[in-house]
Chain A
């Protein structure tokens, strides 16, 4: 089996897995990185949303081969030690989470949006397609706006 080397949250890793294995299962089942969640496996719920070299990806539809030599960041790698990312801070201030299951993906999507669009409009925020089955969308929207102001 081919060997792939990349970094996860700043730490180098290498795995012996088939080239087409979705990165989500490499992270969760091989590397024990449990922050990215499974919700659909086909790139539509976006619960698994993480970053590859800083850009948003859905690891459930990203073959591991694509990560080779790159930097993968999951929700666990967003904070700087105990110091939370401003988006995480904003999430706490708005008390966004209910069951919390979608929130790693929501936060990673919000961080990616704010990187692309530092002062997003409501229409920009509407483009985030992550499902929150608990229906926390309004608090997510508020948190993104607050985070934008802080950053």
Chain B
């Protein structure tokens, strides 16, 4: 490390390296205080606050051939953050986006709470720090050119990866990087003002798109780690069951089998190929100990949730009121790349590769499980094939480490699809009771009681909320889950006295945040009630939302979809439009869909018009991609995709049974309008689901006359379950 430079408490260190490598370090600024009133503090604000002490600990390097390398302490799982961050760096440094390489940092324990990818928070949390780091690097390159040319830095400019002098002389960043690395003077830098942005705010294709369409993209299982052979695990017949006895005599003799070991989660089999490992796993004779929910089936879960739903405050006696009750099934995250990890555990050290959204907690937990000091465990974050919340959990990485330790070999662990659906994570089932009272055309009260199977947040979020406890916007002795609930879910309408309460039922199943955590179900159900309230009050659904929404920004997205989607146009019998709205993480969106529900058992969304205001879109093309994904998730979970739980295990075991949407379920017409920049970046990753859930359910109700109350709407067991 060499001399620190200061800009209002923002320290830049030069790493001792032959080329310019800027590491920024602890900010000396006071922690920002949270916005007031407290009700506008969302989970993202808390994540940012917890990450603030280490927010600027970023590393950027300029190579002699002019490439800018930036290490991002987050996980890329398809959401496009590496592209957006490359754009931020390119903007500040005046280099083409194609000259920026963003890689994913290994687990860096010193980042504390600043290496968790969740809460739609990446762009919100790195927007300032990335720009400041890149601006510092640019300033050093300019200073190096100024020194060489005996010019004033202020007279020089940067363009296309070069420093340019007024007389036309140019020097590339690659040529300047060695000199810039030797500068010891104090250099100040300011990120560009937003009016100067030329790259940020324009549509940029993904930086890794070419690798993806040519088959060159490398996911965990595509890595060649020496000696790491294909491994799968035979899993119990019920969730959290454990091995009692194993007879591996047949399996051992099968072609290609290398090793077999019992681990806490089942029996691991390693073979020359995954096909052979799977065949040998199936040939094992195993008896099992009971799991944690062996007798539990959907009907019991429903009954428990109903019993746990807290009562309303307002009695229905004196005013006109409307009640609604809703049920949502468990939903698998089902990322297309199944849970997977590579582990190489030795006596004195371990190395792990996996798609991880909470790699620091993973590193700590794996070190403890292996009995190794944390410093001896290296955790590499690989790009993931989808997540939707799933990769907040590091169960595959931990399991791979345990297998590697037991087998004394490097391990390439893959969960089968059946494993992933039955023993993987799922969005918790939930039950909802909503009551609204009204008089004289006005909503007086709006109460929502949610009962949900406990959502597992044991991936570092608890520690983050504890660290920010003093800033929590909610008082009293609320549970951790209630805190997450109240910092993510809010009613965006002026509905008089509004109360939303969550009560959780602890069941020892594998749950986890699923894109938009509580909002998809909670806000989805509310959007249905908003339509039903509008009908009671004799108002049009769009007009009613318009007059009760709280801000102009919210009304603008609603107006946009109403106009672009020709709200109110006449549709043939069996067809209908539906609308939904959602506001979260400083962003808002409206969704208008058209549905063909001539066959109520087989409805199809045929058109969707979405408007989205994310405050400041970094990459509108990426924002649209996120909204499209949210729409497809909403189509799937509202209409056909869910898990049936029977006797302690989901019945669904593959995509032929868990009906995530296919092309035939997806609308042939989609329009997504991104509103112009008007402030700081808000969240986008999870935003798209809840409004679309509401729109789809409302279109279904209008097309069929059937009030949707249980989701997914069409949910038979239309398959023969795989053997347990």
Contacts and interface: CB of A to CB of B under 8 A. Distances in A.
Interface of A: 1, 17-18, 21-22, 24-26, 28-30, 32, 34-42, 44-45, 47, 74-76, 78-79, 84, 88, 91-92, 95-104, 107, 122, 125-141
Interface of B: 77-80, 205-206, 208-219, 221-222, 224, 230, 255, 272-276, 278, 334-338, 383-388, 414, 416-417, 621, 625, 628-633, 636, 654-656, 660-664, 666-668, 670
Contacts of B661: 135, 137
A75 B222 CA distance: 14
Contacts of B385: 37, 99-101
A107 B660 CA distance: 19
A71 B517 CA distance: 47
**Interface-centre pick from A39, A95, A100 (highest chain B CB count, 10 A):** A100
A97 B336 CA distance: 13
Given A42-B654, A99-B77, A133 B274 contact: no
B662 A131 contact: yes
A135 B221 CA distance: 22
Contacts of B383: 99
26 contacts: A28-B273, A32-B224, A39-B338, A40-B654, A41-B278, A47-B336, A76-B214, A76-B216, A79-B214, A88-B214, A91-B213, A92-B205, A92-B209, A95-B205, A95-B209, A96-B209, A99-B384, A103-B213, A107-B213, A133-B335, A134-B386, A135-B661, A136-B625, A137-B661, A138-B670, A139-B628
A73 B206 CA distance: 26
Given A42-B654, A99-B335, A127 B222 contact: no
Closest 3 pairs (CB-CB, A-B): A135-B632, A35-B215, A99-B78
Chief secondary structure at chain B's binding surface: loop
Nearest to A98: B78
Contact of A29 (B274, B337, B670): B274
**Interface-centre pick from A35, A40, A136, A141 (highest chain B CB count, 10 A):** A40
Nearest to A45: B655
Nearest to B271: A29
Given A39-B336, A84-B214, A97-B209, 9 more contacts: A30-B272, A37-B337, A39-B655, A40-B656, A92-B210, A103-B213, A130-B663, A131-B662, A141-B663
Contact of A133 (B209, B212, B224, B660): B660
A144 B230 CA distance: 35
Contacts of B416: 41
Contact of A98 (B79, B213, B656, B668): B79
B347 to A, nearest CB: 28
A24 B275 contact: yes
A95 B625 contact: yes
A124 B88 CA distance: 41
Contacts of B219: 37, 101
Contacts of B206: 95, 97
B80 A98 contact: yes
B275 A99 contact: no
**Interface-centre pick from A28, A30, A99, A127 (highest chain B CB count, 10 A):** A99
A4 B281 CA distance: 26
A141 B633 contact: no
B212 A38 contact: no
Contacts of A74: 215
B671 to A, nearest CB: 10
